[in-house]
Amino acid sequence: MFRIVLIFSAVCLSVSLKHPDEVTSLPGLDFPLNFRHYSGYLNATNGKFLHYWFVESQTSPSTDPVVLWMNGGPGCSSLDGFLSELGPLHVTPDGKKLYNNTFSWNAEANVIFLEAPAGVGFSYSSSKKYDTDDDTTSYDNYVALQHFFQKFPELKKNDFYITGESYGGIYIPTLSVRVLTGPANINFKGFAIGNGFLDTTNLTNSIVFFGYYHGLIGSQLWSRLEKYCCGGIGAPQFCNFVTPTSSQCEQAVSDATEIIQGSGLNVYNLYEDCAHSASGHNRYSVDKRNLLRLFPKSLKVNDDPPCIDSTNVKKYLNQVEVRKALHIPSSVQDWDVCSLDVELGYKRLYNTMRPQILQLINSGQLRGLIYNGDVDMACNFLGDEWFANALGLKVIANYEEWKYKDQVAGFVKYYDRLTFLTIKGSGHMVPQDKPAEAFKMISSFLKNQRL
């Protein structure tokens, strides 16, 4: 009898200890999972609640690193990263079923997908006001991160990394500085930034060179750019495409930008066609508008063509049963890949992340990775390479190829505590375009191994 009571008590304890955010079933999932996952809300400031979806590692959740992933925009959802890029579950084209991603990053890490700032995806504010800026966003993310480790205190001892892409080039360094210098006592080990918006001047100047080097800008237009914007010498140190000093330079830059951004090319991947989306508001339009802020005011903004189609993810997440499974209140807005409210109310405070990156690296406590798909035009590799080179860090190993399955997968340069890396043939979303190479890259970085 005593033994029966003990067994009954153990069963009751097991049930009572079940995490309230655990996802126990998902519509469209018809195969077993070998990991647990959780979806719910993290408290930020002033009545803001950030939605997260957390997947445990498939290997050793108790000891594997914890990785935070953030998409950019600003105003775009990290669930796009989950369900289209590096997450373990991807959505079929019809938006009805899920299938396994062989190269999911949670094969070797616990991964948090955070929808931020409030107003993005399923995240919300009780005030319904979504005006924000870089510093407010980073502080809200920091507060939410502390709440995450309150919900999962057993993971606080694990190595922790902050990762993401695109405007994550701002989100990641600003949040990283708060984690490094704050009292949260998180076991912070490093950061990884993919195709990052790291420096306005570098990205703007370099995209013109990128276009010329890739055969998009003809000799006649290039001669005008050299003459009016570069003092007759077409080299990076002599050119200024950011703040044209003459109407002739402004017009030449506008003509070059129209080819790169407005001619129908896929800004996310030069060598891929544009996917036509059924949604008028999409990730492409948001990123494009933000990029065009850098170029002459005379350039007309046109949201066509929408080169990224996330309608399958939108269809899946907005099913009533999916929302219930993810613990999303019925009062929360429908999910969209990007939030127009957040985008329009967002104030950018920084033109470069140089001070933040140097603070992180010079702390001596962290390692960093800056990686770029080499055919992305939204945040091109050349601008981020210039950024890394200009930090003045000690070079440990010069530019060299790295391989995946005996084929050149890209090129890598090692600085003291910072790695710059390219992925050959990839566009803006590296884990989507080159999943196997991306997995090898992140696995090596987390293990502090050279490629």
> 51 pairs with which residues across the strands?
41
> 76 pairs with which residues across the strands?
338
| Per-residue confidence (pLDDT) for residue 321, from 0 to 100 | 98
Catalytic sites, residue numbers: 166, 376, 428
- Sorted by where each begins, the domain ranges of the chain are 21-199+312-347, 202-274+290-305, 362-446
Give dist(CA 192, CA 122) in Å, integer.
Answer: 25
Q: What parts of the chain have a pLDDT lower than 50?
A: 1-2, 5-16, 280, 292-294, 296-305
Q: Tell which residue, 219, 265, 196, 209, has the closest CA to residue 241.
A: 209
Distances (CA, A) of 50 to 45, 117, 133, 331: 10, 7, 16, 15
Helix, strand, or coil (residue 88): coil
CATH class for the region spanning 21-199+312-347: alpha beta
Same fold, 21-199+312-347 and 362-446: yes
Q: What is this structure's pTM?
A: 0.92
Helix, strand, coil percent values for the chain (each to nearest 5) = 35, 20, 45
| Per-residue confidence (pLDDT) for residue 46, from 0 to 100 | 96
Distances (CA, A) of 206 to 29, 145, 384, 411: 44, 35, 9, 18
Q: Contact, 192 vs 368, CB < 8 A? A: yes
| Per-residue confidence (pLDDT) for residue 15, from 0 to 100 | 43
With respect to CATH, is domain 362-446 assigned 3.40.50.12670?
yes
| Per-residue confidence (pLDDT) for residue 185, from 0 to 100 | 87
| Per-residue confidence (pLDDT) for residue 17, from 0 to 100 | 72
